[in-house]
Structure formats: C-alpha cells, structure tokens
Amino acid sequence: MGNEQISRRLSAILAADIVGYSRLMAEDEAGTLSALNRHRREVFDPCVSRHNGRIVKLMGDGALVEFLSVSNAVQCATEIQDTMARLNGAGGIALRIGVNLGDVILQDDDIFGDGVNVASRLEQLAQPGGVCVSSVVQESVGGRLGIAFQDGGQVSVKNIDRALRVYHWHPQDAAPPPNGTVKPEKPRDPAYAIAVLPLDNMSGDPEQEYFSDGISEDIITDLSKVSGLTVIARNSSFAYKGRSIDLRVVGRELGVTHVLEGSVRRAGQRVRITAQLIDTKDGSHVWADRYDRDLTDIFAVQDEVTLEIVKALKLSLSPRERANIADVGTSNIEAHEDYMRMRGFLFFPGMNAEGWRKAVAYGERAIARDPGYADAYGMLALMHLLDYHNHWSGTPSEEAMQKADTLVRRSLALGPDNIWPNNAYAAISRWQGKLDEALPALDRAMAKSADYAMGWFTRGEIEIAQGKLDDAIEHLERAIRLDPSFRHQFMQFLAMAHFLKGSFETAALFLKERVFLVKDTDIGRAWLASALGHLGEVEEARQVWQDMLEINPTFDIRTRLARLTLSDPAHEQLVLQGLEKADLLADS
C-alpha cells in the first residue's frame, strides 16, 4: 500500500447499472451473462472508447467510467441508451445511467469521492433505459448537444447531505427530427490515438538534449498531419520526460491507444535512432526499428518513422498528407538545429528574459542560414509577441509588436499554408484586435494539423471575445483532450465561456479547479468571486477575493477585462455585477 499514488481532479463520472440484474440471473444465468458480454463488447466498451472515456471498473451488474469532458460523458450515456433501445425493443439488457461533474480522488486505477457518490445516486434515480444528470451537468452542456433534458426537481438521496436538482433523458421522449430528416452526427475521433514520449538522449552530453527533444517534436508534428490519428500535444507527452512509468498508465492518463518511445544517440555526424510503438491496452510491441544514419539523413529518418507507424496501424494516407509529412520546411540541417533550439525555449515553462534572448539569437541565426525558412520566421514572430506581453527586451510594447508583425508577414509570404506561420499570424492578430483575420489563419493551420491543441485554444479564446460561447466551449474542450497536461490554462477560459453564458454553477466548479491547479492565480479567483456572487455565496466570494488581493494587491478587474476585448459590453457587465452582488466592486 505504501507506493499507491493519490491525487484529485475534476472529472465527469458515468455510473451505469443493469435493471433487474438479480432477477435476470435467477431466470437464465447463462443467457444473461452471454447478453451482458455481448452488450459490453458491441455497445458499451466501443461507445466509451469513441468518447474518450476510461472504464474505471466493471462490476457484475454495472460500470464506473471517467471522462475529462462532461460533453463526452453525456454523449456517451445517451448514445448507449439510444443504441440499446433500438437493439432491444421491449426486452433484453436495460441500463440506468447517472452522470455527474465533480471532484474525484484518484488512487491507483480507482476513483472515489463526492463526484462518484453523486453519480451513483443519480444512476439509481434514472428511468430504466434512461439517463439522469445533475444540475451542473445539465447547465454545462446546455443546448450544445441537441439533447433535451426534463427537469426532475429537487430530490434527497441517501448519504448526500444536500438536496440534488436532477434532470432526466430517455430515448422514447426524444423528439424525432422534423420531416423525417436525420440529424448529422459530429465527426468522431479516429480509432487510434498516440502519444510520442520524448526520445531519451543517449549521447552522454546534456547539451544534446535539444536534439533528441527536437526529433520527438518533429515526429509529433508529422503524425498530427495524419487524419486517421489523434495525436497528443507535446506539453502532455513531455510531462513524462525522465520518468519511469508503465506505458499502460500513460495510455489511461492521456486516453491513447498507442505510445511511441525510443532513444537518440549522436556522435559527430552520425545518429542512431531507436523507436518502438507500444499498444497501451496490453503493453505489447506493435513495431520497432533502429536507424543508423548520417546527420544529413535525419529528415528522411523522421519521415520513415512516421510512415512506419502509419503502416503498423494500417492507416491510409492521402497524397496531400504524404506530401505534408515530407515537407520539413528547410534542407539546411544547421538552420533546423537552430530552429529546434529556439522551439525548446518556446515550450519551456520557466521562460524568462535570459532564455528569451537565447531563443531569439537561435531564431535569427536560423533565418540567416536559410532566409526561406518560413517556420523559423513564424516562431521568431511568436517570440516577439511574448516580448510584447513580458517586456523582456526592454523595448516599448509597440516596437515588439511591430517586430512580430513584420516577421509573421514574411513567414506567411514564404509558407502561406504552413502551420507555424498561420498560427503565429492568428495569435498576433488576436492581440492586435483583428479577430476576423485570426480565424481564417487558424483554419489554414489546422487544415494541415487538426490536432494542434494551441490552435483550438486560440480559436476558443477568440470566440469568447466574439461572443460565440458554444463554439468556444466545444473548441476549448477539444484543446483539453489533445493537451490534458495544459488543462490548467484552458480551464480558465472554459470557465469564462460558461460564466458569460450565465452558467454560474458550472463556471464556479471549473474556476475552483483552476485555483486548485494554479495556486497563485489572481484572475481565476476574481472570476470565481464573481460567479459565487451570482450564486448568492457571498461569504465564500469575499474570502476568495481577499485571497486574490493577498496574491496581487494592485489587481484591477476592469483593466483585466479590457484585455479580453469582449465584443458584447453586457459580458463585461456580467462579471462586474457578480462582484457587486458580493459587495466587492469597491475593492477592485
């Protein structure tokens, strides 16, 4: 018991139970077990997988499933029940399902806590073949999923010290599409999801770490161009750097079917790369190989690794995808190494003025070595955007923004369809207030890489400013799916989108998670205080506000709201009104 890992997080929990299980077993034990196994194999397990859920445990008559997205949990629950209704008619296996959003405690592979307990009570309240959800789940999904819940009122349940507001859904109550039309389904995630762990640096020289990391990042970028794969972002894959961990655990934590791991050894102009693809379900090897090449062949090796993974998973590549993978942006090895070094600084969480200066020097050297290197210009533009926010160079903000703008325009001229130039242009346009120009740039970037997590985040951030709140929620949830280790940042904006929709209970839940993950957040506490004000939790709001002022005594909510460039003035007022209700606005 001494090495058990205990932590907590905010999760959506699905609890399912078979109706009349004891009776069915008494009547026909063999037939019931056969029907149950078929249900799990053909309906339940595939549906959970499609919606990125993790089956925590299966009991004889039920199951407990964890999701990081409440939308995924609700879609999974209703899809299971709708499918069972169509398959069974009046007989066969029937389920009750409850869905809740709340805190859970993780201990090894199991989950406990209030969030789980409430989900179990909701499952008991569900109709046979139906779904029962908590008020926070109903508020969180709203009308985004096209699912109409019926208000079940306030109920008291065993071992829960507060009344629960519940909502019900049943397939037989769902209104059919008008005129016999079929509602189009949203595209589902591909069957395979992969995480590329940082390749181990076996060179015996810590200075070569940038090189092994850079190759890992290049492979991530190439794989993200394959439409048949979901590829986890670099931030989340690299969270395992230097750790010895069971790859099956990585699969559960990141929601991936496969993991790529390996090593890089560089000696002078020779490079050895080993790589192996692991199935996270059972830890088995799907593919492995070793490459001994000259440094000048490094681009070809990365290309081969990507294509071997595609082949091992029996995926098909379109001609365009094949061309995109082969396009590395430069043939100059030294320029690409400088680009790798610069990119390493961009993703380093402890970036400061010294690191920024080194990164800019590498970027300038990369474009000096290859003046046609579009991605290097794009990343260097982002470096100057960081300077605009952080004042690391000591130059005025306007000058930093002008440098960023000049570089990004050169980047786009060289690579009009490339990921980095368009992503940089979108980010810079967003902070220039050119929101309508930012979104088409993101479209171009994500036409090549639909798994670009920061692209989904930037899109969601822009859509909040534009007041497109349902779109923002969908896209921020997608960012969390692709980069769960960066959810602390995404959570702030996801909460803001729910808040501005008037979903204050949901917003407060997400903001409490944000405060838990980022202990010194001032903006998270400010929005939380406002949400609590709207909910009538005045004393708690005041305590949160006081904690915020201890972190940042000069905090000014109006200045921070102005930075968001919210297009609807009513949205800014909604934040201020929550603070007014808690009598906090005079302190801002």
Alpha carbon 15 to chain centroid distance?
A: 23
Q: What is the 3-state secondary structure (H, E, C) of 266-316?
A: EECCEEEEEEEEEECCCCEEEEEEEEEEEHHHHHHHHHHHHHHHHHHCCCC
Give the model's confidence band at 585: pLDDT under 50 very low, under 70 low, under 90 confident, else very high: confident
Give the model's confidence band at 1: pLDDT under 50 very low, under 70 low, under 90 confident, else very high: very low
Q: Are strands 229-231 and 192-196 parallel, antiparallel or unpaired?
A: parallel
**Once rounded to an integer, what is the mean pLDDT over residues 117-125?**
92
Fold classification of 484-588 is: 1.25.40
Residue type for position 73: A
How do the domains of the chain map onto residue ranges?
6-180, 192-328, 484-588
Q: How far is it, in rounded angstroms, from Cα 32 to Cα 26?
A: 9
More confident residue, 377 or 37: 377
* CA separation, residue 14 to residues 66, 88, 125 (Å): 6, 22, 13
Q: Please determine, for residue 297, whether its predicted confidence score (pLDDT) is greater than 60.
A: yes
One CATH from 3.40.50.10800, 3.40.50.1370, 3.30.70.1230, 3.40.1360.10 for 6-180? 3.30.70.1230
Residue type for position 397: S
Instruction: For residue 373, give every residue at least 6 positions away whose Cβ sits within 8 Å of its Cβ, in sequence order, or none.
Output: 329, 330, 332, 335, 339, 366, 367, 414
Name 110's bridge partners.
107
pLDDT digits (tens, 9 = 90+) for 538-557: 999 999 999 999 999 999 99
Residue with the two structure tokens 């709340």: 102
| Cα atoms found within 13 Å of the Cα of residue 25, Cβ hemisphere only | 9
Q: Are strands 150-155 and 110-112 parallel, antiparallel or unpaired?
A: unpaired
Nearest CA among 383, 312, 373 for reference residue 342: 383
pLDDT digits (tens, 9 = 90+) for 298-355: 888 888 899 999 999 998 888 888 888 888 889 999 999 999 999 988 876 678 899 9
| Domain boundaries 192-328, corresponding CATH code | 3.40.50.10610
Give the model's confidence band at 581: pLDDT under 50 very low, under 70 low, under 90 confident, else very high: very high
Task: Find which of 1-15, 177-191, 294-308, 569-583 is predicted with most confidence, using mean pLDDT.
Answer: 569-583
**Once rounded to an integer, what is the mean pLDDT over residues 123-149?**
91
Model pLDDT, residue 301: 87
What DSSP assignment string belongs to 492-522?
A: HHHHHHHHHTT-HHHHHHHHHHHHHHSTT-H
pTM as predicted: 0.88
Other C-beta atoms lying within 10 Å of the C-beta of residue 205: 11
**Once rounded to an integer, what is the mean pLDDT over residues 96-124?**
89
Model pLDDT, residue 133: 95
Tokens in use for 431?
């902070």
Name 112's bridge partners.
105
Residue type for position 49: S
CB contact at 8 A, 237 and 195: yes
pLDDT digits (tens, 9 = 90+) for 432-457: 989 889 999 999 999 888 888 989 99
Q: How far is it, in rounded angstroms, from Cα 430 to Cα 460?
A: 11
* Stretch among 98-102, 264-268, 455-459, 571-575 having the lowest mean pLDDT: 264-268
Mean of the per-residue pLDDT values of the chain: 89
pLDDT digits (tens, 9 = 90+) for 212-246: 999 999 999 999 999 889 999 998 999 999 888 88
Rounded to 5 degrees, φ, ψ at 109 are -95, 0
Name 547's bridge partners.
none
